[in-house]
Amino acid sequence: MGGGGNSTYGLKSFKRSKSHFAERITADGRDGWPVEAGRYRLVVSRACPWASRALVSRRLLGLEHVLSLAVADPIQDDRSWRFSLDPDGRDPVLGIRFLSEAYDRRETGYPGGVSVPAIVDVPSGKLVTNDYQQLTLDLATEWTALHRDGAPDLYPHALRDEIDSVMADVYQDVNNGVYRAGFATDQEEYEAACAGVFRRLELLTPRLARQRYLVGGTITEADIRLFTTLVRFDAVYHGHFKCNRWKLTENPVLWAYVRDLYQTPGFGDTVDFDHIKRHYYQVHTGINPTRIVPLGPDLSGWLTPHHREELGGRPFGDGTPPGPVPAGEEVAAQGRP
């Protein structure tokens, strides 16, 4: 999720830009960035669904103690993501006020937007990657030497073709579709995007009615990617992005599915509804010029029984749940049910 141009949202056609910095951190360091404990810092916003994928993956894989975390303020200014939640408005590890400073150290005058998730090389202070599509796949497959004992296999070899196919459809119609609807500039563009969102959700419903997870009997990368959009659906996409044919709570299958994941360690404990709502409603002034944040929806239902365990499946396969959230990374009380 990029920053800047907040007042232009909804005034020009939306097109998601490709990640400009697509070098990878790999076990063999073939791009010059080897996997190394303590070397890198993950920069996220808890408001951003793309960054939230990395938060969930990092928790499930137990990488908290080898890949440090910087959380940006959900409210951007024209310089984009800022570290104003930290003392003195500086990230305590990188020593910078704005994520753009890490971009500048990598490429002076970079013309694109400053987006999260981003991984920064701590010794040099340079951005390594902002490739949100590849980043979590690499955490699952290239960082295995640093995974916790009992970490799940989020991208199993035998299921990769199916996972890739499901993720491609979910990305096109749901993950990105809600943005194309929300930032549409005319009725036709909006209706096509909105119809695509609900068409895909309706196709996923019978699949998830008969099986607990999207692919196979365990949580995979596909579930992470669908979850980060669904958890935001009623809070921001239904109203702010006008994806309002129905609420997620009105679809019994999807509502139970997303509650099941939310209540699974590593998912709900990364979600901050306060950051989510304030970001969307206060930053996108092109479509919400008053910056008023709605009081709803009621969050109490997120912790109600979902009964999805009756479908079988094992969330972590042969692995185990992640441990407690590390000190200092907890979600504030106002951001959770």
Would you write out the chain's pLDDT as a tens digit for each of its 337 residues? 665 456 666 666 655 555 689 899 999 999 999 999 999 999 999 999 999 999 999 999 999 999 999 999 999 987 889 999 999 999 999 999 999 999 999 998 887 889 999 999 999 999 999 999 999 999 999 999 999 999 999 999 999 999 999 999 999 999 999 999 999 999 999 999 999 999 999 999 999 999 999 999 999 999 999 999 999 999 999 999 999 999 999 999 999 999 999 999 999 999 999 999 999 999 999 999 999 999 999 999 999 999 999 999 999 999 999 999 999 999 998 999 9
Q: Are strands 118-121 and 40-44 parallel, antiparallel or unpaired?
A: antiparallel
pLDDT confidence of residue 11: 60
Q: Are strands 126-129 and 40-44 parallel, antiparallel or unpaired?
A: unpaired
The angle at the Cα of 266, spanning 246 to 174, to the nearest 5 degrees, equals 30
Asked if 87 and 14 touch (Cβ cutoff 8 Å), the reply is no
Asked if 129 and 41 touch (Cβ cutoff 8 Å), the reply is no
Residues catalogued as catalytic: 48, 179
Asked if 58 and 52 touch (Cβ cutoff 8 Å), the reply is no
Q: What share of the chain is helix, strand, coil (3-state, %, to 5)?
A: 40, 5, 50
In terms of Cα–Cα distance, which of 153, 137, 140 is closest to 215?
Answer: 153
Q: Which two tokens stand for residue 36?
A: 């190394």
Q: Which two tokens stand for residue 201?
A: 């959700």
Rounded CA separation 39/28 (Å): 15
Q: Are strands 68-71 and 126-129 parallel, antiparallel or unpaired?
A: unpaired
pLDDT confidence of residue 36: 98
pLDDT confidence of residue 4: 47
Asked if 276 and 74 touch (Cβ cutoff 8 Å), the reply is yes
pLDDT confidence of residue 6: 61
Helices and strands: H and E segment counts in the chain:
9, 4
pTM of the model: 0.95
Rounded CA separation 330/332 (Å): 6
pLDDT confidence of residue 16: 57
Place of tokens 């996409």: 237
Q: CB atoms < 10 A from the CB of 25, how many?
A: 24
Q: Provide CB contacts within 8 A for 255, sequence distance 6+.
A: 248, 249
pLDDT confidence of residue 113: 86
pLDDT confidence of residue 110: 82
pLDDT confidence of residue 22: 86
Residue 324: is the preceding peptide bond cis (ω within 30°)? no
